A and B are shown apart, each in its own frame.
Chain A
Amino acid sequence: MAAMARPLPPDFPIRSQLLARLYDEQRRAGWIAPGFADAIARELRLPVAEVWEAATSYADFRSAPLIGDEVRCAGLSCQLARGAFAEMPSEASHCLFRCYDAPATGGEEPFPAPMVRQAGPLLAPDITNTDRLNAARRLGRDAALNAVAESGLRGRGGAYFPVGTKWRAALEERRPIALVVNAEEGEPGVFKDRALLSLAPRRVVEGIAIAAFILEPAVIVVFANGQADPAVRSLEEALDIAEPQLDVAIVRGGGGYVLGEESALLNALEGRRPVPRTKPPYPVQSGLFGMPTVVNNIETFANLSVHFGDVPGFRTRGTPETPGTKILSVSGRVRLPGAYEVPLGVSLRKVVEQSGPAVAGEVAVLAGGPSGGFLSAGHLDVPLQPGILHATGAMLGAGGIVVLDAPGDIRDAALAMARFNAEESCGKCTPCREGTPRLYDLLAAGDVDGIDGLAEVIQFGSLCGLGQMAPGPVRSALHFWPGVFA
């Protein structure tokens, strides 16, 4: 099958071709042999050790052929539905991002429209013209930039950084800008970018066009999840019919939770080992090959289009600090899993009740996935907004909400998150690489006395946000249900 991808500009450094070559080889052969690494190193004139670094640093790339097993989803909701945590074959398993369809097997599918349980402007029927881009154009670049800043729009990838502030910082560099569209979506339990790309791709493309009008980037790159073929195909179709045409490269990733860290994603695009960089400099100062680089999430681009469709109306949804809507990915022990587009600030309890929890004991929630934390039934009256929802770890993040049965599911779910963080550590920094496997071991052994000290080292010592937040699920589970780990 031809990979859905579009090459980076030919005048980019040649090493930028490495990820695409490795990706194609993995798809073609099912693994990346040392001999292939040698050949590609000669062709791209890179040291073979650097090629091998990249070839061995992605979740989906294999250095030996994988025979046999059907791919079974390893996401939390599918493990719950299957009821077999211990039996998961780790080699052939990864999240299939169909948590509404648990337990999922096989591959990815286009997001089904009936799984939109609650739509707002983002998940409304897709747009058919470019009225909102035209509205931005009529304002002119400067006024459109001011409108973005005044909208209060914050990035929807999980960190909620103000979009206007990020863009101004890149523009202030007064050098050619790289615009990176983050369609990597690699957090198990989150499927909102796939929903947008499947159901509202023209909305997303219009948002990219608006950003391109304001930022005038020298290059636009979509970094697309390597497994998400249906979503990428839908995006390509929308790009093909976009008026005016956008010159966009599409690079497919090799998988790995660390790609949610934007500097690791930029290293991946540069053909380097995908590990986080130290900051400063921030990507807006020096990102892709040193260019001032704006990285925004698919849902952020869709919000840009929504904003320019109704500038005064944008702030009427959500909170004053975080206007607009957010797509929640709800799954687990519920009768109505799927995508819920809600105004930011809505009560978590309301969302949980809407989804129809079906539990034997008490309702519990995992909010924010492997970087978030658990909440007990008594702690659901919190507004869903950026920042932590509970001091022990729960947060909105990318909007993953898994409903659980407490106490029955808690031990398995906490161990699954701890194991995920250990397996997905990129390996660059010592606290995360060495600490997260031991955190799992301590929890599995019920040796809870040592956990506080180790969790502190991982949280405050790790280089990037993923390590810093890795203790959240463990700490929150121990806080609310200490008895289940004894």
Chain B
Amino acid sequence: MKLNGVSVEATGSLLDTVLAAGIALPHLCKDDNLPVIGACRTCLVEADGRIVAACSTPAAGVQECATDSERAVRIRRGVLELTAAMQSGPAGAAGGPRSAESLEAYASHAPRPGQYGLRSGTHADLSNPFFSFHEDACILCARCVTACQELQHIGAIGIAGRGHTARVTPGAGVSFRESICTSCGSCVAACPTSALRPKG
């Protein structure tokens, strides 16, 4: 297939192919350890004229893929502007090992500040001795929840509520400490922002 005009070998998903070619592309809800989630929509590319999420699109069958088309970049920037507007917390809070992923995505796409008014949760859960959770940095990518449910098979956290009331929630509305969380750290390791923070 052609990727940004250059012939490459198609491997797995379009995202796999793009990353194997050394091209940077945000993918805030796709983690190597986890199945495809498809929630963040930050890996949108133009494939044979259609805008698709690279993470969930098989590379086989695609003739031409562009990460850098004007339309793909414009729509990704729009998605990242909506994503950034979910975060009202202080910039630069120290997160887990993958927390720089969101910062890199913003840096590469220059979302216009204040394009959309802030719309974020405010709850913080400091009850766990090893980490804390801050809604004001959460982008609901569902990596933490997927790591807890499908990687660790614990199921201590879920996403409760529909639409813009959706929130990452332990148990049936209890704190992390009161939940069945084993403090394994998988959620903190998966988080692409500083919403889940190790305690120092």
The smallest C-beta distance from B89 to any residue of chain A, in angstroms, reads 16
Q: How far is the CA of A215 from the CA of B30 in the complex (A)?
A: 36
Instruction: Contact check, A430 vs B156: say whether CB atoms are below 8 A apart.
Output: no
On chain B, the residues within 8 Å of A34 by CB distance are 171-174
- Contact string, B47-75, partner A, CB cutoff 8 A, digits 1/0? 00001010110100000000000010011
B185 adjacent to chain A (CB < 8 Å):
no
Residues of B within 8 A of A47 (CB): 149, 154-156, 158, 180
Residue numbers in A under 8 Å from B163 (CB-CB): 422-427, 433, 436-437
| Nearest CB of A to B73, in Å | 12
- The CA-CA distance from A433 to B121 in the complex, in Å, is 14
Structural contact, A53 and B158, CB atoms closer than 8 A: yes
In which size bucket is the chain B interface? 35 or more
Flag whether A438 is at the interface (Cβ < 8 A). Answer: yes
Contact with A along B132-160 (1 / 0, CB 8 A): 00000001101000001100001111111
Q: How far is the CB of B94 from chain A (nearest CB, A)?
A: 24
B39 interface neighbour in A46, A279, A429, A435, Cβ under 8 Å: A429
B140 and A463 form a contact (CB under 8 A): no
B79 → A minimal CB distance (Å): 5
Counting chain B CB atoms within 10 Å of each CB, the highest count among A46, A48, A51 belongs to A48
Q: Which of A171-200 contact B (CB under 8 A)?
A: none
| Residue A293, interface by CB 8 Å | no
Q: When the two chains form their complex, are residues B78 and A52 in contact, meaning their CB atoms are under 8 A apart?
A: no
* Separation of A34 and B160 alpha carbons in the complex (Å): 12
A461 near B161 with CB under 8 A, answer no
B38 interfacial contact with A, CB 8 Å? yes
Known: A427-B161, A461-B78. A434 touches B41 (CB 8 A): no
Which residues, 81 to 127 on B, are CB-close (under 8 Å) to A? 82-83, 85-86, 116-117, 119
Task: Decide if A433 touches B41 in the complex (CB within 8 Å).
Answer: no
Most chain B beta-carbon contacts within 10 A, residue among A37, A46, A59, A457: A457
A128 neighbours in B (Cβ, 8 Å): none
Would you call A431 an interface residue if the criterion is a C-beta within 8 Å of the partner chain's C-beta atoms? yes
Top 8 nearest A-B pairs by Cβ distance?
Answer: A47-B155, A457-B78, A427-B166, A278-B38, A53-B158, A278-B56, A49-B158, A34-B172
The chain B residues found within 8 Å of chain A, CB to CB, are: 36-42, 44, 51, 53, 55-56, 58, 71, 74-75, 78-79, 82-83, 85-86, 116-117, 119, 139-140, 142, 148-149, 154-166, 169-174, 179-180
Q: Could you show 17 A-B contacts with beta carbons less than 8 Å apart?
A: A37-B172, A38-B172, A47-B156, A49-B148, A50-B155, A53-B159, A256-B162, A280-B56, A427-B165, A428-B39, A429-B41, A430-B82, A430-B83, A433-B140, A433-B166, A437-B119, A456-B75
Binding site for B on A (CB under 8 A): 34-35, 37-38, 41, 46-53, 55-59, 63, 256, 273, 277-280, 422-431, 433-438, 453-454, 456-457, 460-463
